[in-house]
Amino acid sequence: MTTIADIQRAVAAVTGIPVREMRSARRARPVVRARQIAMYLARHMTRASLPQIGRTFERDHTTVIWGIAQIERQMLADPVIAGTLERISDLLAERSEQEEARAFDTLAAGIAERLVSAGFGTAAAPQVIERRVEVETRVEVTPPAATKAIDAAWALTVAFEEVSQWPGDTEKRRAFSEKFARLQKALRDHQTYTQKDQTHGH
């Protein structure tokens, strides 16, 4: 989720005006414009109230209202302002995707660790590929893995619950869920095969 601080940093990166100057009392035109752009984006990209936005910039809410109105007027008449807003929005989207990918990697790593600790390692091998956790569905056909599969099924249930609560409907989430769905099916097939093998052995 984009925060006001994220917006301030993105505005600073695109305009060259440091965040500390946006929060300062300086009234040089480039500083005022950067400050107003940040206020406008904060209003439209976060759930922060006008007073909350004002406090972030060390100003009252009436100044925020004025700043937003200025940008709304200028963006229609000035292509430079419109272009600046577009570049900042693109930068924020890119950073948001990067942060989401890192958070997703952390979630994936935690789930993989739980699977391994549940004894899942004998049924399939978690591998880290390019800093992303990939879970292979190649199942070893060995009788001891049947018991391991039962423990892994419990761990997978917890994993699915965590993934289902992941915010947003992203390609990464769908790919991750599909991978676990294939893995769950492989475990079920493996458990059924092993149980039949043990039954016939008796």
Residue 56: CATH number of its domain: 1.10.1750.10
181 and 121 co-located in one domain: yes
Per-residue confidence (pLDDT) for residue 160, from 0 to 100: 54
107 and 53 co-located in one domain: no
67 and 161 co-located in one domain: no
Last residue of a domain, one of 77, 109, 139: 77
85 belongs to a structural domain: no
Per-residue confidence (pLDDT) for residue 57, from 0 to 100: 96
107 and 71 co-located in one domain: no
Per-residue confidence (pLDDT) for residue 71, from 0 to 100: 97
Per-residue confidence (pLDDT) for residue 197, from 0 to 100: 47
187 belongs to a structural domain: yes
Per-residue confidence (pLDDT) for residue 127, from 0 to 100: 35
DSSP string, 90-137: HHHHHHHHHHHHHHHHHHHHHHHHHHHHTTGGGT--EEEETTEEEE--
If one counts the domains in the chain, the total is 2
Per-residue confidence (pLDDT) for residue 104, from 0 to 100: 56
Q: What is the mean pLDDT of each run of 10 residues along the chain (202 residues)?
A: 91 96 95 97 94 96 97 94 95 81 58 54 35 35 42 52 55 62 58 49 50
Per-residue confidence (pLDDT) for residue 97, from 0 to 100: 74
pTM: 0.54
105 and 194 co-located in one domain: yes
Q: Containing domain of residue 39, as a range?
A: 4-77
